């Protein structure tokens, strides 16, 4: 049981380049999330998904797109990277437990945009 | 005002000390509450949920005061391995359609030998 995995772990992009971050979970969780974490800001929700084929915007969605074609995978795309997107990106998944949704996080992707 | 506010620290304490972290949240509709732990350059991991009646897990005790919109975490007999950032997290559960976790910026704990 690998839990939540993310690829790649590190990436350096030039401004304007595109890339896709992959998140995979093997816990059969319905909900999946993408966050970014910046110093002094805490984790901020980019997009999330409540099930296969559905996605929704979070707090900071601009400049990102997502897709959830399979229940176990949640992809985050940057179409035209900007230096402001330099951050650590975390994927998470969750299920319903006792009326609340505890989230399990992947190890993160460190992205630098130059 | 931030939705979830924490003292950023750092809290530098000797081994064996008792340390308390506090957190306040602004949205009275918040439904669920958690403390997560994040080690340096690692992902956040759930430490414990916080229930209305308060709850304890070994050396860790969590308290919730809904009237004051205040959450606390007490760590007794601190260990070197407790050194980490502790994130206060609030869940604005809304029937599943907009389930959101709101994270505080975290409190850094450094336990000294």
Answer whether residue B103 shows pLDDT above 70: yes
| Cβ–Cβ contact A28 with B under 8 A | no
Give the chain B residue nearest A42 (alpha carbons). Answer: B105
- Tell me what the pLDDT averaged over chain B comes to: 91
pLDDT of residue B31: 80
pLDDT of residue A4: 97
Distance from CA of A80 to the nearest CA of B (A): 26
Distance, in Å, from the CA atom of A103 to the CA atom of B39, rounded to the nearest integer, reads 17
Q: Across residues B77-83, what is the average pLDDT? A: 98
Least confident of A60-69, B31-40, B96-105: B96-105
Which residue, among B30, B99, B106, B108, would best test binding to A if mutated, counting the most A CBs under 10 Å from its CB?
Answer: B99
- pLDDT tens-place string over residues B9-23: 899 999 999 999 999
Answer whether residue B96 shows pLDDT above 80: no
Q: Is the alpha carbon torsion for A50, A92, A66, A41 positive or negative?
A: positive
Segment holding A50, helix H or strand E? strand A42-51
CB contact under 8 A, A58 and B104: no
């Amino acid at each position: 049981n690998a839990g939540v995995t993310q690829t790649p772990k590190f990436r350096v992009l030039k401004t304007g380049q595109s890339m896709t971050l992959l998140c995979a979970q093997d816990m059969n969780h319905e909900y999946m999330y993408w966050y970014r974490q910046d110093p002094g800001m805490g984790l901020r929700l980019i997009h999330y998904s409540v099930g296969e084929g559905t996605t929704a915007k979070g707090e900071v969605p601009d400049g990102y797109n997502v897709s959830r074609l399979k229940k176990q995978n949640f992809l985050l795309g940057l179409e035209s990277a900007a230096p402001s997107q330099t951050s650590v990106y975390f994927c998470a998944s969750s299920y319903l437990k006792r009326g609340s949704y505890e989230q399990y996080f992947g190890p993160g992707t460190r992205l630098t945009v130059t | 005002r931030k939705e979830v506010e924490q003292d950023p620290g750092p809290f530098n304490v000797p081994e064996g000390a008792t340390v308390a972290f506090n957190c306040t949240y602004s949205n009275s509709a918040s439904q669920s509450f958690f403390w997560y732990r994040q080690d340096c350059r690692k992902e956040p991991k759930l430490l414990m949920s916080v229930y209305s009646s308060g709850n304890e897990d070994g050396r860790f005790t969590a308290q919730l005061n809904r009237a004051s919109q205040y959450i606390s975490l007490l760590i007794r007999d601190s260990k070197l391995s407790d050194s980490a950032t502790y994130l206060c997290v609030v869940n604005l559960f809304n029937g599943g359609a907009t389930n959101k976790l709101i994270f505080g910026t975290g409190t850094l704990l450094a336990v000294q030998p």
